[in-house]
Homo-oligomer: A and B are copies of this chain.
Amino acid sequence: MIVVMQRGAASREVQQVEERLRELGFATHPIVGVERTVIGAIGDRRDDLLELVANLPGVERVVPVLRPYKLVAREVKEETTAIKVGKALIGGSEVVVIAGPCAVESEMQLLTTAKAVKEAGAHLLRGGAFKPRTSPYSFQGLGEEGLKLLAQAREATGLPVVTEVVDTRDVELVARYADVLQVGARNMQNFRLLQEVGQAGKPVLLKRGLAATVEEWLMAAEYIAAAGNQQIILCERGIRTYETSLRNTLDLSAVPLLKELSHLPIIVDPSHATGNQRMVLPLARASIAAGADGLMIEVHSDPARALSDGPQSLTPPQFAQLMEEVRQVALVVRKPIRAQAATSCQAR
């Protein structure tokens, strides 16, 4: 770390900071400038220590040099982590598409939608059984009943299932039914939940928090990794900004940035990012063009009757159109989309 001393800090203060740094295990290198002294401190980064030092008399601020995350950093593992889910390989050489309704509402709704997205070429099925809703008076999901319907839809289509878990007490239950455990935006810094899903033995899809920095997001992934699970899929889903013409602001810069910072695969959810189905198709194309490993798309067999997030859901024909256009963009960036649907349909 670099410790910047206040202008006019006493040389006694500089000495005290150096002593404290050495006590904490750092080698110190003071540099005396005209206006300020800075101290270079060589040693492991621990955020606790940054804070301790920042509070010593005469210190203006502490600038960390090393990154706070270790296990998920590209620096420690050059090749992208590829995660096998069913026949799909997320983070591999092909674009993977997860699709399905926001919430599981009924057997009919789920099965119809699941078959339609499978038909159009989706690789995984999404659907919420436990829904975190802003209002206590909104539909909260079907709970375990919803999980059973998801398992049934997997049976019927062969598509592995992604579903959200919102409570540490439910992790075991959800892991019994799901192929991938989703941690939603509102729980990105629910650290206990991160630790639990890190021990559940299933891949985790980690959505970016509503107003999380890329660094905080990677630190959340680090919690999961530190609990023993590196099968983590990052999912950009829009951030909160002053702009309110769409629900959130999709941060596509995060895609190439994360490719540089981390070895984890990154997918994009343009449906939640915009809350507007007319924006989903162009932003799905853009996500793949930016280098994303996959997409997460909301599809509903009858959006006008959806109990949750209808306005952002595509109809099955709109989704088929999206798959077609995304397929072409994927070819340009040399991450083709495998025609898994057709093949596995023959197999059934």
Instruction: Give A residues with C-beta under 8 Å from B.
Output: 2, 4, 7, 29, 31-36, 38, 40, 42, 46-48, 51-52, 54-57, 63, 65-66, 68, 75, 132-139, 166-169, 186-187, 189-192, 210-211, 213-216, 219, 222-223, 226, 239-246, 249-253, 255-257, 260, 273-274, 278-279, 282-283, 285-291, 303-311, 313, 325, 328-329, 332-333
In the complex the two chains form, is B244's CB within 8 Å of A213's CB?
yes
18 A-B residue pairings within 8 Å (CB atoms): A7-B75, A46-B138, A48-B137, A48-B307, A52-B304, A55-B303, A68-B135, A68-B137, A133-B191, A134-B219, A135-B222, A210-B210, A241-B251, A249-B251, A250-B253, A282-B291, A329-B332, A332-B332
In the complex the two chains form, is B135's CB within 8 Å of A47's CB?
yes
Closest 9 CB pairs of A and B: A211-B211, A289-B289, A55-B310, A286-B290, A31-B40, A285-B289, A286-B286, A186-B189, A256-B282
The complex places the Cα of A251 from the Cα of B241 at a distance, in Å, of 10
| Assembly stoichiometry (copies) | 4
A240 to chain B, nearest CB (A): 5
Residues of B within 8 A of A68 (CB): 134-135, 137
In the complex the two chains form, is B63's CB within 8 Å of A2's CB?
yes
Known contacts A34-B42, A192-B167; A249/B241 CB under 8 A? yes
Residues of B within 8 A of A136 (CB): 191, 219, 222-223, 226
In the complex the two chains form, is A166's CB within 8 Å of B192's CB?
yes
In the complex the two chains form, is A48's CB within 8 Å of B139's CB?
yes
The complex places the Cα of A167 from the Cα of B166 at a distance, in Å, of 11
The complex places the Cα of A257 from the Cα of B278 at a distance, in Å, of 9
The complex places the Cα of A289 from the Cα of B260 at a distance, in Å, of 22
Inter-chain pairs besides A38-B40, A38-B65, A135-B219, 6 sampled, C-beta below 8 Å = A2-B63, A52-B304, A169-B169, A211-B211, A252-B283, A256-B283
Q: Which of B57, B219, B242, B260 contacts A241 (CB 8 A)?
A: B242
Known contacts A249-B253, A283-B256; A36/B65 CB under 8 A? yes
Smallest CB gap from A215: residue in B? B245
Residues of B within 8 A of A250 (CB): 251-253
